[in-house]
A = this chain, B = another copy of it.
């Protein structure tokens, strides 16, 4: 069995190691893969995008443990979601919802049964106390219905909508990747484009690969998130063009 971890725990502290220690204490033979722990702190949308971009590349029955959890310790639910091919474990804050839009959900369970959880005198680390042990027990074959009662739906987030008006398509920057490429909410581009801008900066072209881009002016490319990205050739569009999350991209059609 394979447990895949995706969190905003970062790489500075022992948080990720502790989660793995808990898992290995319960199931020593399970395989653990890090998707990433570099999600921006508290950023549910980034976590949801990273999960959506990656989960389909994992083997069937992978147990995804997704902890971007600003509400840790509060009343938000913790859930296990079973789909045809996968198991997802996460706080019920929408971080699973972009991936689950593509999956057939078979069952959702709210994690309530304290028997499977770690006791603690602090209330700040449910990755350790709730999500890790639940993932580990699932990897050992524990039926998910034992964790709590079945519920009907989970919370959702949605990408900001693309707007069409006055002969323009208007999208926006959702996040940046490690290379400084700006991931937008544009899944498709119109067949015929006249001109395009990010903020007030003209976009040079739609490229088929990064080498076709320009070093000074931004270009667009369909990227590995399944979304169009704004990039500079071998440079950081974020830093060099001083882009920010939320900046508009306008396309004249």
Residues of A at the B interface (CB closer than 8 Å) are 2, 4, 6, 8-18, 20-22, 24-25, 28, 31-39, 41-42, 50-51, 53-55, 57-59, 62, 70-74, 120-125, 128, 177-180, 208-212, 221-224, 226, 229, 234, 236
Contacts and interface: CB of A to CB of B under 8 A. Distances in A.
Contact of A36 (B12, B208, B234): B12
The complex is assembled from copies of this chain, and their number is 3
Given A36-B13, A179-B41, A210 B24 contact: no
Contact of A51 (B9, B14, B37): B14
A27 to B, nearest CB: 10
B12 A42 contact: no
Contacts of A180: 41
Given A18-B57, A24-B33, 19 more contacts: A6-B14, A9-B178, A10-B178, A12-B178, A16-B34, A17-B33, A20-B33, A20-B34, A21-B33, A21-B58, A21-B59, A21-B62, A24-B58, A25-B57, A32-B33, A41-B234, A73-B209, A124-B229, A125-B224
